[in-house]
Amino acid sequence: MHPGTSVAAVVCAASVLLISNGCLSMAMVEDKITALPGQPPVSFAQYSGYVEVDAVRKRSLFYYFAEAELDPATKPLVLWLNGGPGCSSVGVGAFSENGPFRPSGNALMSNEYSWNKEANMLYLESPAGVGFSYSTDPSFYGGVGDSMTARDNLRFLEGWFAKFPQYKGRNLYIAGESYAGHYVPQLAQRMVEFDDKEKLFNLKGIALGNPVLEFSTDFNSRAEFFWSHGLISDSTYNIFTTVCNYSRYVSEYYHGSISSVCDRVMSQVTKETSRFVDKYDVTLDVCISSVLMQSQVLTPSPNVSFFSITSAKEMYVTLSLTDNFLQSTEQLNRALDVCVEDETMNYLNRKDVQKAMHAQLNGVPKWTVCSSVLEYKQLDLQIPTINIVGALVKSGIPVLVYSKGVSLERGLMAVLVGVSPHRSGDQDSVIPLTGSRTLVHRLAKRLRLNATVPYRVWFQGKQVSSGPSPSYNIGHRYRRSLHSCQAQAMVGGEAETEAFFSSHLLPDVQVGGWTQVFGDALSFATIRGASHEAPFSQPERSLVLFRAFLASRPLPESFE
């Protein structure tokens, strides 16, 4: 069957193919992955393939789906979208951040903090032109914007549910980071409108990590971040905030005319910050090939055709020098493989991997982390999606915004709206936490939401259980003894609360970040020590946040 097939007949007769909770569609059978080359043994099912979203222009979107490790029939469905615009959720999200595997040489290593421990994870490469997703009409790539992307993403979900009918009605969440601050709210808005006519989506919340929500506030917060982290001098900070700020510079670039004054200011900022510092995590060692690419993309110039606000690990925009960049797969940081996406690119360009994933290259010579053919509408960056977030909250859709937090180590700041997080890291200078925090506070004020949880720390402990947890509110204080870190409720501590923490926390309990909740739907949180891609730089703390998000629980409150 052609990989662009959108709907297949469901067989429930004599030749029934049974799965744990329903019938298996023929399309689902064809998309099932027997095993990825080099993967360790796993107990969960994997699928990947195409869903056609436009039969006329032959446009199909590629997905990778990893069912939950345990009890997939009872776990929610989470759609993950990376940003860019134009970067791969499969390459970045699934294979570098929160998916079940990470490439290492010719093999795949298990990710012990994979989000499929808690949910069925669906990764979508969108729009067409990204990764393995394609259009047979090349003219499509010339005018893609937010509206088209949201429409195609909605069509994808309709087609995907036709392939996987057993997931209809399942609790559904949408999560993403960076430019997904546009993708996710706009898709959620269309889903709500769609369900007004035809009930298909059981949308329970959205989570936004280091999101772009409002152009000027998000971008202009970079100056304070650069200065407070020692990346620029006092004098440069002054001209960066009074003479030409970042939003003005980017706006001039998008309109094709950079003023001489902004050119001088940005040249000075670029000189001081250095191209050999990862702007998505200013404390992390760098992968040489990625950081050289990043320096080309973060500082727009007439020689660069694509300006992306996405992570350094999403920076594989094809430039003339790409193949000559120094390649290094050395683990430059003992805790993190900062070249993981170099390895991902090598892995996903293997023919045996593409065959196993039912993927094909259409109109491009190789798979890249960020699209080399897509010409996204740059001015769509200025659409204030924070207004859509507000409308979703008012309609009862929980939204979580998370971001990196400011600390001496890499951190992640999360903004949570309802049960959904908007998350980012405190060492991310591209979408700094200060901008996200300001936007969330403004939204809470506009919606007249009072702070129901004051600004406070939350705690992280090693996760030792992924099974179902009891239903309760974590609105208690906990005592930590000198010899054991067993949590004991100080106020209103039910036995089930103590049982939950004794099964989920081991003695190494640390501050995971900070959080604040407004009303019963909007929350703000940080992940301490995280970067622009929190699940990559702080996988354990990100999983704690993700678990609380899905369970509609506040983050663990305090220990003494």
Q: 72: closest CA among 198, 142, 167, 3?
A: 167
Q: Where are the beta strands (DSSP E) in 484-536?
A: 510-518, 522-527
* Residue 75, both tokens: 């776990």
Helix/strand/coil for 63: strand
Q: How far is CA 323 from the centre of its chain?
A: 27
In whole angstroms, how far apart are CA 361 and each of 60, 130, 315, 353, 484?
A: 12, 11, 19, 12, 54
Catalytic residue among 358, 422, 476, 532: 532
Does the CA dihedral 265-271-273-279 come out positive or negative?
A: positive
Q: Are 526 and 405 in contact (CB under 8 A)?
A: yes
In the set 337, 371, 428, 537, the catalytic residue is 428
* DSSP structural state of residue 14: T
Q: Is 135 an active-site residue? A: no
Distance CA 437, CA 443 (A): 10
The C-alpha R_g of the chain, in whole angstroms, comes to: 22
DSSP 8-class letter at 103: E
| Catalytic residue selected from 178, 251, 289, 295 | 178
Give alpha helix (H) positions in 320-419: 340-348, 351-356, 386-394
- Residue 155, token pair as written in the block: 């069509």
Please tell me the chain's helix, strand, coil percentages from 3-state DSSP, rounded to the nearest 5: 35, 20, 45
CB proximity list for 301: less than 8 A, separation 6 or greater? none
In three-state secondary structure terms, 80 is: strand
Residue 5, Cα to own-chain centre: how many angstroms?
27
> Does residue 532 carry a catalytic annotation?
yes
How far apart are the C-alpha atoms of 409 and 219, rounded to whole Å?
22
* 139 catalytic per annotation: no
Q: Please check whether residue 262 is in contact with residue 254, taking contact to mean a CB–CB distance below 8 angstroms.
A: no
Q: Are 487 and 504 in contact (CB under 8 A)?
A: no
CA distance 121 to 190: 21
Question: Which structure tokens are listed for 138?
Answer: 């090349």
Number of DSSP helices (H) and strands (E) in the chain, helices first: 15, 17
Distance CA 171, CA 206 (A): 12
Cis upstream peptide for 432 (omega within 30°): no
Distance CA 363, CA 373 (A): 9
Distances in whole angstroms, Cα of residue 107 to Cα of each of 39, 102, 336, 341? 6, 9, 17, 14
Cβ of 472: how many Cβ atoms within 10 Å? Answer: 17
Question: Which sequence positions are flagged as catalytic?
Answer: 178, 428, 532
